[in-house]
Amino acid sequence: MYNSVQDGENQCQNDLVNDLVNDSNNLIELDPVSGAYNCRSWKTLNGYDRQARKIARCLVINSKTKPYLQHVVVSIDDHMTVELHKKLWASLCRQLKSLGVIAFWSREINLRGRVHYHLITTTFFKPELYSQLASEKIRVHVQTITSSYHLCHYVLKAKYGQRRIYFSKSNKLSKIGTIGKFWDKPIAKLWSDVIDYEKSLTPFMEVVYAEAKFIIHPMVDTEYSLRKVMRTMAHFKLQESLLNKATPYM
């Protein structure tokens, strides 16, 4: 008797999990392909990794000229079709923009097929906005930002690969977007500046190689690769070089 009841409970639990996964199959991919690393898709393992790291890097650079003020999470507590999600989010974005909100947003979907949004704002999310947005199906949570660098990587899961949930191929929802004039420069320009900066580090990487490999790297935590140690040292060497050029001879 006990075994049959226990088996029945286990079966119900398994059925519930299967139902939740099946409900979300039109939105998420549980077994994404590797894909090419240079593609711009958020729907493959390599594509997501490249896009997340790229956009996170641009977000960090953007924060230097446009400080980030709040992290807002908007959760949609209802199952909807892709088209309904598009219409609802477009309407909410227009509403927020009309109220003066400027933000970057990242869309995420959980295993239940429910959608939520991470917003990084450059304007304060005023209390009256809660009553404008909150409803039985929409929850709003505002958090203070303690580290812009951490937040930029968290909202895109740039350094949290184990927490990523991938969009399915049939999912036509956008992964990221903005409300108002969020970017100080176009993403293409920001990324071009990143590439130029990394190229400027190359000669300094060669200078610090021996010291990094035989002295510094053996002393640091094993989670840091030799290349990461070299790049950090090269960064400071470059900054020192620029400072020396900018300082007149006394």
SS3 category, 104: strand
Give yes or no: residues 126 and 235 share one domain.
Answer: no
Give yes or no: residues 83 and 123 share one domain.
Answer: yes
Give yes or no: residues 224 and 204 share one domain.
Answer: yes
Give the per-residue pLDDT at 64: 94
* 166 strand-pairing partners: 29
Give yes or no: residues 78 and 173 share one domain.
Answer: yes
Asked whether residue 249 carries a pLDDT value surpassing 70, the answer given is: no
Phi-psi region of 113 (alpha: psi -120 to 50; beta: other; left: phi over 0): left
Phi-psi region of 2 (alpha: psi -120 to 50; beta: other; left: phi over 0): alpha
Whether 86 maps to a domain, the answer reads: yes
pTM, 2 dp: 0.81
* Overall number of domains in the chain: 2
Give yes or no: residues 83 and 197 share one domain.
Answer: no
Whether 106 maps to a domain, the answer reads: yes
- Using a pLDDT cut of 90, give the percent of the chain over it: 60
Residue-wise pLDDT tens digits, 60-85:
999 999 999 999 999 998 888 889 99
Pick 237 or 24 by higher pLDDT.
Answer: 237
Residue-wise pLDDT tens digits, 167-210:
998 899 999 999 999 999 999 999 999 999 999 999 999 999 99
Whether 242 maps to a domain, the answer reads: yes
Query: Would you list the DSSP string of 169-205?
Result: TT----SEEEESS--SS-HHHHHHHHHHHHHHHHHHH
Residue-wise pLDDT tens digits, 81-127:
889 999 999 999 998 999 899 999 999 999 888 999 999 999 988 77
Token reading at 65: 């000229």
Domain with residue 70: its CATH number is 3.30.70.1910
Give yes or no: residues 168 and 64 share one domain.
Answer: yes
Give yes or no: residues 61 and 133 share one domain.
Answer: yes
Domain holding 161, by residue range, is: 45-179
